[in-house]
Structure 1
């Protein structure tokens, strides 16, 4: 056989051309990488040398990458706002930023654009937001503008599976997270390392600190490297934010931050602000009438507690106002909160009852009215609440409900922030009284009655716990009329309310006595004043005992306390059984729910058979607790119990009895015998360790083989499935968009583009298996036809 001769001048052979064509894509990828690297270097120089002109207004004028520009254009973001024009050029240069701007001014894009573009050059960013809803909103905006980039992003919030997040955490370039879940991953997830972080963003930093995340945030900063770029954004600047800036920022550029906070409260020009003075027992009537006259509007109603939101939502739903109703509060599960958020975002007209969880950062489109049924705790909270409307260039209106006792104090607090709010009057002819409807609902449905009681207590507690007592005065509230307006048959008895009333009476009596002492300085009059003061104290203590019944008052001195007494001391007996555990009286010594300190029922004493009588123990403890107490007393008196073991001769020995060292030393023959005994012990222990090592290695090998077998089974299942050609990235329930951002792995230069023989054999084997399966199916069909007599 004559082999083909190769002419060295005739150029490369057919096989050489084939090999060259196979390596062409690798070379083109290498060229692309070099081109990409040059682009990044050019962007770095342009960003560092960029001096923003006075008329900078478009995103296209910024020194940012083409993928970022394409994403902004696709999401219809063209013009920049003031905060974006001021902060983005500074952030692109790698400097720390401390920025403050009013709500609805575009702070999210102000930090997302530099995050995307800086990551285009570096690759690791972390964005922390105070609430889950705000984190989801940031993640959605990131997806809308970052689809043309090749890195991946992840959403890390509570309410999701921790294991699923841990598996994907290390593959993400951008993490949007809430503080608690992020710290949990840093402490528990193996392999999660934040030492190479380049950018940290804190959105709504003041809210993060207000919600009690200060310790969590300090712990997070300890996990992060010092050499990072930090962007801190907030709608208001407080002392805690300034302290945080000193801890986490290095020589920051301050944008929108001045010496006084007055300039920070500038409200949108398209916002109309009004307040209405309403009595506490008329609030729900006015709110219902307002909703009935605005059925084609999109409204957010803010209340002070979750229980109030639940009560108003449930009662108004049963009364059918004629507009969709939604509720959003912190006691809901994560899935329910996200569903409510998405529903309200997509609706054109509806009413959302919410707590302050919806007051910060959330961008609800086309909100017409923000109604604050309960007064905010301070002016900053008012600014954040009313900022849910009139966002960007749209118009909006705000309505604040104030009690007569809150009007002066709240107006003064808002004037300090340069917030101008106009007073309007309510038309009595347009107001519908719904008190009878609420009473009927509470009578027919014990669940509504229970929710009304909890709403009553939670509102009064919120007033009691407010710091500014010049605005929130618990003693001035018409408590009885408020309970009637909720449809309750009576006023629940609350301990802290009784204490506040008693304290008010004490202060009033002391003021009267002080005035009498000033008028009459005689010794007799002063002694009479002190006597009246003591009498007032006694009366007040009696009043407190009378207002807040105790368990001991239900049983007379020397009487026997039975199980029937305990049964009648339970609260809210007519509530459904599912709430039974929440409503029973807690035993002394346990921590009771502070919401359950009302409506303690009494009963008359009666004689019972001696068989049903139980002696009243002084401590009123259960049998188990009494038994434990006796055991502790026995230990204190006699010491810990000892266990003895008897030998064959009947002699007692302790379980861990030590031998006499001198006798053992002599029995072993002195020092040489002791050393020999020690060497013998060491040899036996080394034998045990070798045997244990062999067992451990066998177990590890078996686990590895089992893991390999399962992996092969999964690969076999994948190869057996038909391949579907699709270009649409799969959506992930956990919020990850890896397919949309991930950059595929490139083969190395030494690899050939054709699949190796081993892979070809596997694919051919998979094809053969599928063909066999098809053959077996055809045989089964033929057999079935024969059995049916149709062949």
Structure 2
């Protein structure tokens, strides 16, 4: 009998299924136990170590491998609430470990929900800057290394397409607001319907006016039912902000709210009164005195950062210099932050991009060259040092106009700060060196101008005018301290009262003397006189000195309005110039006026003696005279257009081909035309005159042509006579005719057939140059005219008409 049929591998399959089932059951039991421990967790109990928290095994192993053992205050209180799924507003001092306070709950909550890549996006972490997002992502990688979650970093400066291909498989995203909104709008694979947690680091910065619209758009894409956690050193409590994020009964965790200071106790904070023009000198002196330190220097704008970095780099202080601002490319920013973190001694010039959240190890000094916009920004800036209970020092440079308002704001935020003085003996001035560099390097000068403008703009846009008052800053001195030849012109520098000051002169011009002197308007006018008047370029032009020290030929010129230049008249500028007579003595030249002006002067003296008005006669165009007897007539001299009616009609001249000038043909006056007779009669007379003129011109042209022909004929006859005389001399000598080539044989027909042709060719003038062949026995002192005649004769060569002639010529050549 056949054996019974059995299923192959039935035993091993059952064994494998039982192992997977046990593993799944063990995992479910672990999660159930973990959830029960979280529910039993006492929120009032202060925990000290991570091991006291109900954490999963992957998270505990990641914390141990990253050397995180003890809990900080914010971690002890915030993690307990977050593990229970509550919304949190976390506020703690800078450097207190807020990053782990939200990363550990993110990992634990997703782990308890058994989140996989098929479930989509589970947690979204927003950071205001790229550097902070990178830092959070690095901590997440260390702590969550043993978890099976997929995490991604979404920031600007990278390929959008590469990010789009991977976003659909991510469980946790660390991102900046702008880039995340771009993916939410454009990436189809990104699903946020199952989002469990939303985290905002530096939440007050994300929720302010800079990111308001972006954050609102991101929140619209997210589900309402989620857990939200906000963390910052200066936490917001605005009801509007909390309502925008749909927070449900949030737990406010502020561990340092009752502390005596808002900054770490290990941080030494000082400020010094430094005028705006000396800030760079003090900064340079500080860097030169602390070459073995690690320093972060904060400035208002990226253009200032770049100028200070480039100028100090040329000066070579003896310590590595770096700069960080928002206009740099992402790769460069990442390299700079990494390099500065690894450096032992360095100086980093930065904007507020580096003010929040960045953890640079072992920073010794934080220098704030420009005053921060508010006390919160100050707290975040100084938080780059004295982190995790280490020692740090901070110095704030304040202009005298900023001292009162800024100290008041810091006092309200419980920021202890002390005043220090700078030792004048150790201060070095780099003003001359900067001026020299800007003079030699136009690019550095351009950077300085942009830095100046950006600083003034940063002061102008500040809301707190009690601290930032643009009118009290000495901007000219500040421009000189940057090495610039002068302060660049800025449109908005006049302030908000531009329209009032623009209309003030118009109001004063329409006031009567009694109104101006009596009442408040008169007082305002006096105050206006006491102030420094605004001088236009025309005022400066008329205040130039030595305007009446002119060359002699200048006195013969006339003004644009036709009046003579009175070089002897003294102007106010000329009288003021006498004070420099001892420095440079110049002989003054006075031109003698014309007769009319002299007469006018004599009449003026007579009129002034009689008590009458002064009169003056001005010659306009050589014919017409203009009598100046009133102020209205004097104003006429300044207007060319009004003087035209007092001048005669101008005449226009044209020049013919020979350079003779004559008037342009114009329409004749009608009355004068009729006075000369009838139109038909004048036309007949004109035609007769033109006919006679044409006949005379024709006769003259014919006579000229006849004379030219006569001269030509005489020249030809003279040439023929000279040729005939030359031939007669040759016949008398009995020699060979000049010009023929010498041959040892006799050319047939050369005596008879070619003579007529030679004469004809000699009589006919030739334009082409003919080649002459000289005889071997010819005399060297031959007449050149005879040579020319011989050359003409050689042109007649023997003609070869038949084959017999060709044979004869060949036999003669062969001898």
TM-score by length of 1: 0.63
The 1-side partners of 2:259 and 2:537 are apart by 48
The 2-side partners of 1:544 and 1:359 are apart by 45
Name the structure 2 match of 1:440.
436
Name the structure 2 match of 1:656.
none
Query: Which residue, out of 37, 50, 66, partners 1:75?
Result: 66
Name the structure 2 match of 1:652.
none
Kindly indicate whether the alpha-carbon contact (under 8 Å) linking 2:267 and 2:393 is maintained by their aligned counterparts in 1: yes
1:196-235 counterparts in 2 under 5 A? Answer: 196-210=194-208, 212-235=210-233
Gaps of at least 5 residues in structure 2 are: 116-121, 506-513, 541-559, 561-815
The 2-side partners of 1:262 and 1:301 are apart by 30
Deviation at 1:544, TM superposition (A): 11
The 2-side partners of 1:238 and 1:291 are apart by 36
Deviation at 1:28, TM superposition (A): 2.5
1:362-761 counterparts in 2 under 5 A? Answer: 362-499=358-495, 525-526=518-519, 529=522, 532=525
- Residues 65-118 of structure 1, C-alpha deviation per residue, up to 9 Å, x if partnerless? 010000000000000000111110111011111111111111100000010111
TM-aligned CA distance change 1:472 to 1:32, over 3 Å: same
The 1-side partners of 2:522 and 2:336 are apart by 61
TM-aligned CA distance change 1:6 to 1:437, over 3 Å: farther
The 1-side partners of 2:125 and 2:497 are apart by 47
TM-aligned CA distance change 1:194 to 1:493, over 3 Å: same
Local SS of the residue matching 1:348? coil
Deviation at 1:240, TM superposition (A): 4.5
TM-aligned CA distance change 1:544 to 1:308, over 3 Å: farther
Name the structure 1 match of 2:157.
159
TM-aligned CA distance change 1:235 to 1:527, over 3 Å: closer
Deviation at 1:243, TM superposition (A): 2.5
The 2-side partners of 1:415 and 1:504 are apart by 37
Name the structure 2 match of 1:360.
356
TM-aligned CA distance change 1:80 to 1:544, over 3 Å: farther
TM-aligned CA distance change 1:432 to 1:527, over 3 Å: closer
- Residues 648-699 of structure 1, C-alpha deviation per residue, up to 9 Å, x if partnerless? xxxxxxxxxxxxxxxxxxxxxxxxxxxxxxxxxxxxxxxxxxxxxxxxxxxx
Name the structure 1 match of 2:333.
337
Deviation at 1:407, TM superposition (A): 0.9
The 1-side partners of 2:520 and 2:371 are apart by 45
Name the structure 1 match of 2:93.
102
Name the structure 2 match of 1:119.
110
The 2-side partners of 1:528 and 1:151 are apart by 77
Kindly indicate whether the alpha-carbon contact (under 8 Å) linking 1:506 and 1:536 is maintained by their aligned counterparts in 2: no
The 2-side partners of 1:433 and 1:529 are apart by 48
The 2-side partners of 1:324 and 1:332 are apart by 19
Kindly indicate whether the alpha-carbon contact (under 8 Å) linking 2:516 and 2:523 is maintained by their aligned counterparts in 1: no
Name the structure 1 match of 2:276.
280
Local SS of the residue matching 1:105? coil
Deviation at 1:219, TM superposition (A): 1.2
1:32 aligns with 2:16: no
Kindly indicate whether the alpha-carbon contact (under 8 Å) linking 1:278 and 1:402 is maintained by their aligned counterparts in 2: yes
Q: Please provide the CA RMSD for this pair.
A: 3.2
1:188 aligns with 2:181: no
Name the structure 1 match of 2:176.
178
1:50 aligns with 2:46: no
The 1-side partners of 2:81 and 2:295 are apart by 38
TM-aligned CA distance change 1:117 to 1:543, over 3 Å: farther
- Residues 206-232 of structure 1, C-alpha deviation per residue, up to 9 Å, x if partnerless? 011236111111111111111111111
The 1-side partners of 2:355 and 2:412 are apart by 21
- Residues 609-630 of structure 1, C-alpha deviation per residue, up to 9 Å, x if partnerless? xxxxxxxxxxxxxxxxxxxxxx
1:133 aligns with 2:131: yes
Local SS of the residue matching 1:412? helix
Q: Which has the higher contact order (CA 8 A, sep 6+)?
A: 1
Local SS of the residue matching 2:465? coil
Local SS of the residue matching 1:326? strand
Kindly indicate whether the alpha-carbon contact (under 8 Å) linking 2:203 and 2:236 is maintained by their aligned counterparts in 1: no
Deviation at 1:204, TM superposition (A): 0.8
- Residues 738-771 of structure 1, C-alpha deviation per residue, up to 9 Å, x if partnerless? xxxxxxxxxxxxxxxxxxxxxxxxxxxxxxxxxx
Query: Which residue, out of 75, 84, 88, partners 1:93?
Result: 84
Deviation at 1:185, TM superposition (A): 0.8
Name the structure 2 match of 1:65.
56
- Residues 412-471 of structure 1, C-alpha deviation per residue, up to 9 Å, x if partnerless? 111111111010000111011111211121122111000000011111111111111111
Local SS of the residue matching 1:120? helix
Deviation at 1:317, TM superposition (A): 0.9
Local SS of the residue matching 1:68? helix
Name the structure 1 match of 2:690.
none
Larger Cα-atom Rg? 2
The 1-side partners of 2:268 and 2:536 are apart by 48
Local SS of the residue matching 1:353? strand
Name the structure 2 match of 1:351.
347
Gaps of at least 5 residues in structure 1 are: 510-520, 548-556, 558-791
